[in-house]
Structure 1
Amino acid sequence: MLKETEWNTINNILLEIYAIRNIDIMAEKLLKVLRMLIPYTSGYFVVLDSNQSIQDDKSFFIGFDEQKKS
């Protein structure tokens, strides 16, 4: 069960996400604030095109080197 502070953090995350209009900023912010609740060393937010291919320029990666992303 989540603590009250964790619920408050989730609510703050949602408020921030709804206010962001740029997907690049939103992806980076989301991954960084989720790290406060769920510690991790690497993560990614992937944007796909209509062919289900990853759009690297619109996706965001934390903890990956360039070789692993490809």
Structure 2
Amino acid sequence: MVAGYGLGTRLPPAVEDDDLLALMGRDKKALGGFTFVLDGPDGAELVRGVAEPVLRDALRALRSGAA
């Protein structure tokens, strides 16, 4: 989906996961945890309370090319 909007699909190698998570935590949707707007069966859906370990696993997968 990201590539479909013409956006990059790789994480910059110089950016640390801790820095990314700190920035993501400051997002205006991040009220009480990490929050995302994701494409779901009914269109765009707000997904709240994503746990930090899940995000760290996802970042690790992106960096390893397993995602």
Higher Cα Rg, which structure? 1
| TM-score, length basis structure 1 | 0.26
Q: Normalising to structure 2: TM-score of the pair?
A: 0.27
- Comparing both structures, which one devotes a greater share of its residues to helix? 1
